[in-house]
Chain A
Amino acid sequence: MARATVELPSLLRDVLHKDVLSVEGQTLEDALEDAYAQLPGLRVHVCDETGKLRQHVLCFLNANNTRGLDTAKQPINDGDTITILQAVSGG
C-alpha cells in the first residue's frame, strides 16, 4: 500500500474547500477512489456519466498524463503526486 498526494485545481478547491488530499492505494484507481471517498463532491467534477475522466479533465501521475491508460493497472509509489487539472482545450 503506497501513500500519495492528490492535488486539485483552483476551481475545484474553491467549491470543495480542499486542494490537497493524502490518499492510499496500490494503483491509481485505488488512489482516486480514496480521494472520492474522502471528498464525495469530487467525483462528479472529475468523471462524467461514462464513469471515466471528463473530456476536458486531465489526471497526471507525477509528470505523466494518464489519459487512455487503465488506471486499475497503474501502480503508485510512496510520494507520488496525482494532479487533476483542466486540459488546454483551445479558445
Chain B
Amino acid sequence: MGGVLIIVGTEKGAFLCRAAQDRRSWAVEGPLFKGWKCTASGRSPSGRYFIGTTSQVYGAAIQASTDLQNWRQIEKGPAYPEGGPRKMNQIWTFRTGKDRHFAGVDEAGLFVSDDDGSSWRPVRGFNEHPTRDQWFPGAGGLCAHTVLTHPKRPDQIWVGISSVGMLRSDDGGHTWLPKNEGVRNMIPEQKPLGIGYCVHSLAQDPDDPDSIYRQDHSGMYRTRDGGDTWEKNEQGLASWFGFPIAIDRRTGTLFSFPMESDEYRLPVNGQCRVYRSRNRGDSWEPVGKGLPDAPYYSGVLRGAMAVDDLDPAGVYMGSTSGDVFVSPDLGDSWQQLPCRLPRVLHVAAYLEK
C-alpha cells in the first residue's frame, strides 16, 4: 500500500514530504528546482506530476515528471504571445482531469491541455473576456488562482481571480459570466460589470459540485447553486478574513486559517489555529492540538493548505515562515515537520501507488 506524498512549493524550491498512511513519521527530501519559486503542483490521472516554477529573473514554466526524480520542462507551456500586452508571471494552479487539464496563471489567464500537459493553449473566451481591460492586480498579483470543474458536466468551469471575482463558463470555456451575487463588492465602480470582487480561494463540495465554499477578501461565503447566489457562513470563525480554504473530499469537512483583517493580515491574537467546519460551513470551531502555543505571527497563503483522500483525512499546511504542519486525523491533532523551509507558497497532498 502506498504512502502519502506532500509536495511543498516554496519561494526557493519544492520539497517532497513522505509518510506511511498512518502519517506519523515523515521524511523530507529536496529541494527540487533549487532557487526557483515553486508555485503549483498537479498530478494527472496517468500519474504524471507537474510543478509550476518561476523566477523574478527567468520567468515561468512547467516541469513534468512521472517518477518525481527525472523532470523535464514542458516546451509548449502556457504563454502569452510575443509583442502582446501581457506577461506570463506564474503558474498559479493546475486542475487535472481524465481528458483535459487546466492551468490558471498570472497575469490572469486560463490555459488548457488536451495531451496530458505536453502542450497548452489559451482559453480565449476567458483570456479575452469583455471585462478583461478592467481587471487589476491585488496584493498577490493579477492571478487566476483556482480552477474548478464539474465531474458530470464537462462544459462547466469555474475560475477564481483575485480582485476580479469568480467567473463561470457553461459552454466549455467559450463564454464566461461573473458569478458573485451576494458577495461584498470591493471596487464599486466595477459592480455594474459584475467584477471588482476579491475571491481568495475556493473549495468544491465533493457530493454536490454546485456547492462551492469561498474564502473571500470580504468574508467566508458559500453557494449552493454553482455561484448564482452566495451567502455568508462565518459563525464561529475568529475572523472573516483569510486566504486558504480546503475540503475533505470524503466527508466535506472544511478547513480555513483566519487572519486578523485585511489591514493586519496576521493570525488572530497571535495564535496558530486552524478552523474546521463539519457541517458545510454552518459553524466553525478552532482546532489546534499540537500547533504552536507560543505567539505565532506567520500566515498561511491561499495555496498552502491541502487535504488528502484517506480516512480519516490528513490536513496539511505551510506557513510564510517555512513551517509545515500535518494532521493525520482531520485536524484533531497536529505535528510540525522537522524542517524550516523557505516561505511556503503551495501545499498539495497525493497518495502514492
Contacts and interface: CB of A to CB of B under 8 A. Distances in A.
Interface in B51-77: 53, 55-61, 63, 71, 73, 75, 77
B83 interface: yes
B80 interface: yes
B241 interface: no
B73 A15 contact: yes
Contacts of B87: 48-49
B80 A49 contact: yes
B41 to A, nearest CB: 15
A54 B57 contact: yes
Nearest to A87: B57
A44 B61 contact: yes
B75 A11 contact: no
A15 B63 contact: yes
Interface in A66-91: 86-87, 89
Nearest to A84: B58
A15 B36 contact: yes
Contacts, number: 58
A20 interface: no
Given A49-B82, A56-B56, A40 B75 contact: yes
Contact of B53 (A15, A48, A49): A15
B188 to A, nearest CB: 32
B35 A11 contact: yes
A16 interface: yes
**Overall SS of chain B's interface:** loop
A50 B82 contact: yes
Interface string B79-112: 1111110111000000000000000000000000
A45 B58 contact: yes
A54 B79 CA distance: 15
Interface residue range, chain B: 20 to 34
A57 interface: yes
B124 interface: no
Contact of B73 (A11, A16, A50, A54): A16
B174 interface: no
A69 to B, nearest CB: 20
A8 B81 CA distance: 25
Contact of B61 (A41, A51, A86): A41
Given A15-B63, A51-B82, A51-B83, A41 B73 contact: yes
Contacts of B63: 15
A14 B71 CA distance: 10
Nearest to B88: A49
B75 A57 contact: no
19 contacts: A11-B35, A12-B58, A14-B36, A15-B33, A15-B63, A15-B73, A41-B61, A44-B61, A44-B77, A45-B55, A45-B58, A45-B61, A49-B83, A49-B84, A50-B82, A51-B82, A56-B56, A56-B57, A57-B57
Interface of A: 10-12, 14-16, 40-41, 44-46, 48-51, 54, 56-57, 86-87, 89
